[in-house]
């Protein structure tokens, strides 16, 4: 009888045990219940729990049976967070609220139980249009940045960011975006009206980001990432600065990327573009096809304002970038409904724009989604150039009351339930009037978004692993289904 060596037996045992563990890990989870939260026009439903259902055996659906299909075995991008921007305008408006109003606002956004659980924050470096005035953090012609200080931000913005982070439970990814370098660094000698960064000041401007990040972190606010330039192809009457794709590429590879590395900030997520979807592919290919620039770039940021040209939202451009550069990340960095009008504040299309964008952005590979101002006043400001816009929440600074638009609830259908670290999973609807995206949270629960932009009430089944539950999608509604 042949004697089998002991080491070989040990190896076989290890292989068998490993395979058993893999089979156990890969085994399909058993999902049993569906909890439904709904927001719908012409109802009182606002992120309201409207049903708890059981999944029961259901085989092959017929073509006459509308379905939302789920495949939890197919996993895609990992979600970083969903949130909004704390700008000067948001922080100044917040400071005008009474203590109770401030508590309400912070909880409404950042408390995971009482509110919608924001998990991402953006803020402006130097002034932007949603500031009460124009400013920078250094004195004129201080190339060495010896006068650099962030005293301006300590009055309103830093305290609000700290409260938001504390309410959210600690660390929340925060990224910074500049609208313009100091005026003296630019060829038009102005923070406003576009202009370009002068060659002699490119290193000084790269050092500026480092100063800002380290100043915030010294105040106890960790900085997760940064964009190179807000809207680098837009000459605006407010703070702006122009970079062609080649100029942004070269600034990244010659100045900003190396400076971050040399200053111990290589872990910060560097985000290029930060402008609309229309030129996204050209900007991404120009920067990411250059290995010397691409090695510094974590992802490509984008906005939704390409519609100003008369175009629809160009989600196909996101898909092209995602399939071309699958090792880079897509992040929605800004969006709002423009041209504020208090008479339109409860217009249902405002929230639907958010829902439509978010479903399609996530399905196109986006890993993080950032709204613009989280709070504005009753005029859609403050804004030092009169560019007044909608926010999900407005404050009536005369009465101290908060006004919640439906955009707040549409955002909450995503941010409250989709946790950082969630993975998007396979989903598809059998009717074009239902739009859907779905995720698996780190705890294994499934989060399914079903959007209905039509005037029709649509019965449908949510179908998973040969089981289904029957639901009804109300006209002009969004629903979040929690499956566990």
**Active-site residue list:** 231, 334
* Alpha helix positions (H), 134-234: 151-155, 157-167, 202-218
Residue 70 to residue 161: CA distance in whole angstroms: 37
3-class DSSP assignment, residue 100? helix
Residue 194 to residue 243: CA distance in whole angstroms: 9
Q: Is residue 482 within 8 Å of 29, Cβ to Cβ?
A: no
For the beta carbon of residue 250, count every other beta carbon within 10 angstroms: 17
The region that residue 359 occupies, defined by phi over 0 for left and psi between -120 and 50 for alpha, beta otherwise, is alpha
Nearest residue to 482 via CA among 5, 31, 30: 31
Q: Is residue 123 within 8 Å of 86, Cβ to Cβ?
A: yes
Give the count of alpha carbons within 13 A of 67, CB side only: 21
Q: Which parts of 43-164 are beta strand (E)? A: 48-54, 56-57, 67-78, 81-85, 121-125
- Listing DSSP states for 271-295 in one string gives EEEEEESTTHHHHHHHHHTSHHHHT
Instruction: Report CA 317 to chain centroid distance, whole Å.
Output: 18
The neighbouring-strand residues paired with 121 are 84, 174
Q: Is residue 206 within 8 Å of 181, Cβ to Cβ?
A: no
Nearest residue to 224 via CA among 161, 277, 291: 161
Q: Which parts of 277-350 are beta strand (E)? A: 299-303, 329-334
Q: If you count them, how many residues does the chain have?
A: 484
Tokens of 153: 């931000």
Residue 226 to residue 252: CA distance in whole angstroms: 12
Q: Which helix (H) or strand (E) holds 447?
A: strand 446-452
CA angle 185, 274, 356 (to 5 degrees): 155
């Amino acid at each position: 009888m042949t004697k089998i060596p002991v080491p070989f037996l040990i190896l076989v045992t290890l292989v068998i045990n490993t395979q058993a563990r893999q089979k156990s890990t890969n085994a399909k989870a058993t999902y049993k219940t569906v909890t439904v939260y709904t927001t719908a026009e012409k109802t009182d439903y606002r992120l309201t729990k409207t049903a708890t259902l059981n999944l029961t055996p259901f085989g092959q659906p017929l073509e006459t049976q509308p379905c939302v299909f789920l495949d939890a075995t197919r996993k895609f991008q990992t979600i970083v967070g969903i949130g909004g921007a704390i700008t000067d305008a948001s922080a100044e408006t917040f400071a005008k609220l009474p203590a109770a109003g401030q508590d309400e606002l912070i909880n409404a956004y950042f408390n995971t139980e009482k509110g919608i659980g924001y998990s991402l924050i953006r803020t402006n470096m130097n002034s932007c249009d949603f500031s009460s005035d124009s400013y920078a953090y250094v004195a004129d012609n201080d190339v060495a940045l010896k006068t650099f200080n962030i005293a301006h931000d300590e009055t309103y913005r830093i305290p609000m960011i700290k409260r938001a982070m504390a309410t959210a439970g600690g660390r929340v990814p925060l990224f910074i975006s500049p609208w313009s370098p100091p005026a003296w660094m630019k060829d038009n000698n102005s923070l406003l009206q576009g202009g370009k960064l002068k060659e002699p000041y490119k290193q000084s401007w790269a050092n500026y980001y480092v100063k800002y990040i380290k100043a915030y972190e010294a105040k106890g606010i960790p900085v997760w990432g940064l964009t190179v330039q807000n809207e680098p192809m837009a000459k605006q009457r407010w703070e702006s600065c122009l970079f062609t794709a080649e100029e942004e590429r070269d600034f990244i590879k010659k100045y900003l990327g190396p400076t971050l590395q040399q200053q111990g900030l290589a872990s910060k997520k560097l985000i290029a573009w930060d402008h609309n979807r229309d030129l996204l592919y050209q900007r991404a290919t120009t920067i990411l096809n250059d290995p010397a620039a691409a090695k510094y770039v974590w992802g490509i940021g984008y906005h939704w304002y390409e519609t100003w040209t008369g175009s629809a939202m160009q989600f196909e451009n996101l898909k092209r970038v995602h399939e071309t550069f699958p090792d880079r990340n897509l992040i929605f960095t800004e969006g709002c409904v423009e041209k504020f009008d208090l008479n339109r504040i409860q217009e249902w299309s405002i929230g639907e724009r958010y829902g439509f964008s978010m479903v399609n952005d996530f399905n196109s590979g986006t890993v993080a989604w950032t709204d613009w101002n989280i709070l504005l006043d009753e005029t859609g400001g403050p804004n030092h150039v009169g560019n007044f816009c909608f926010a999900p929440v407005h404050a009536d600074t005369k009465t101290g009351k908060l006004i919640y638009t439906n955009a707040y609830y549409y955002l909450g259908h995503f941010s409250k339930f989709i946790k950082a670290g969630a993975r998007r999973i396979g989903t598809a609807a059998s009717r074009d009037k239902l739009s859907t995206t779905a995720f698996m949270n780190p705890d294994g629960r499934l989060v399914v978004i079903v959007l209905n932009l039509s005037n029709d009430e649509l019965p449908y089944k949510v179908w998973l692993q040969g089981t289904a539950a029957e639901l009804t999608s109300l006209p002009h509604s969004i629903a979040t289904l929690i499956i566990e």
